[in-house]
Amino acid sequence: MKENNTYHDHTEGNNLPESLRVNPFAVPKDYFENLGSGLCSKIRLLNAAPSEKESFSTPENYFNDLQSRIMTAVKLDQLKTDTEENGFTVPSNYFDQLQQQITANITADRWKDQLKDEGFAVPEDYFNTLEDSIFAGIATDRLKAEVKEDGYTVPSNYFDQLSADIQAKAFEKEQPKIVPIGGLKRRNWMRYAAAASVTLILGLGAYFGIQQEETATTDLHSELANVSDAEIINYLAATNSGDNMVYFTQYIYEPEESAGVGSQIDNEDIEEYLKYSL
């Protein structure tokens, strides 16, 4: 083997071996230009650091949840690598309507603070009939799935003629009722006959009533004519008091030269008195 001897005699003047001609130390680029700013930064960090060393402590249940958190982080990394995009998209006109949505949400929050009661109420027997309503809805959905058509059809050109039909019915004139002439004459004749009969009955009743009154008055006059004055005075004296007799004597008494006793008393007064007393 050949020995690599790094020792060299310096007998050859100023010649150095090749290994000693390269400087083994190197300075980074712009080292001395940035040396002052770097020293100042380190001094500031040392001044800002607390004098006492901070003690590090492990959070509670750190190691119990460590495995699940590590697996979650691994799955997130895998999901990020699998999906090129983040999966989130902004709806159209989102930023144009953002201000209005924010204002509406603020107004809704204010209303919630002012209104303590939310204003919603459950109908009566809601939960008691909830099961039946759910089953009825399920049956309706199944029936809709089985029966595709509802079975109702609209006649052809129905909607095209609908407006015209409505206007025709709205402005349709009522037909006048046809009354036969013979029936009209018969009804009028019956009315006239009934009115005439009622008038005749009333006239006959009034006539006979007047005749009876006149007959009664005539009979009373004839009977009073046959009664003498003495009998009338005796009857009045027997049926009336003394005051009435004084009243009658004022009319009955007359002097001897007068025409007759009681000639100043009217027959009508005597009739009225007799009617009243009898």
Q: What is the pLDDT of residues 184-232, one digit of tens each?
A: 455 666 666 666 666 777 766 666 666 555 555 556 566 666 666 667 6
Q: Is residue 232 part of a domain?
A: yes
| Mean pLDDT, rounded, for 138-156 | 77
pLDDT given for residue 114 in this prediction? 73
Q: Is residue 71 part of a domain?
A: no
> Residue 74, by phi and psi: left (phi above 0), alpha (psi -120 to 50) or beta?
alpha
Q: Is residue 60 part of a domain?
A: no
Q: Tell me what percent of the residues of the chain surpass a pLDDT of 90.
A: 0
Q: Is residue 123 part of a domain?
A: no
- Whether 200 and 239 map to the same domain: the answer is no
Q: Tell me what percent of the residues of the chain surpass a pLDDT of 70.
A: 48
Longest CA–CA separation in the chain, Å: 226
Which residues form the domain of 248? 227-278
Q: Is residue 52 part of a domain?
A: no
pLDDT at 1 over 50: no
pLDDT at 183 over 60: no
Are 254 and 264 contacting, i.e. CB atoms less than 8 angstroms apart? yes
pLDDT digits (tens, 9 = 90+) for 101-125: 898 999 888 887 777 666 677 788 8
pLDDT band, very low/low/confident/very high, at 168 (cuts 50, 70, 90): confident
Buried b (16+ CB within 10 A) or exposed e, 47-71: eeeeeeeeeeeeeeeeeeeeeeeee
pLDDT given for residue 196 in this prediction? 66
Q: Is residue 155 part of a domain?
A: no
CA dihedral 28, 34, 36, 39 (to 10 degrees): -70
Rounded CA gap, 217 and 211, in Å?
A: 10
Tokens at residue 54, please? 């901070």
- Whether 239 and 222 map to the same domain: the answer is no
Number of domains in the chain: 2
Q: Is residue 190 part of a domain?
A: yes
pLDDT at 138 over 70: yes
pLDDT given for residue 244 in this prediction? 59
pLDDT given for residue 125 in this prediction? 85
pLDDT digits (tens, 9 = 90+) for 59-91: 888 888 888 888 898 888 887 777 666 667 778
- The last residue of one of the domains, among 191, 209, 226, is 226
pLDDT given for residue 2 in this prediction? 47
Rounded CA gap, 207 and 213, in Å?
A: 10
Tokens at residue 170, please? 């709205």
Q: Is residue 73 part of a domain?
A: no
Which has more pLDDT, 143 or 135?
135
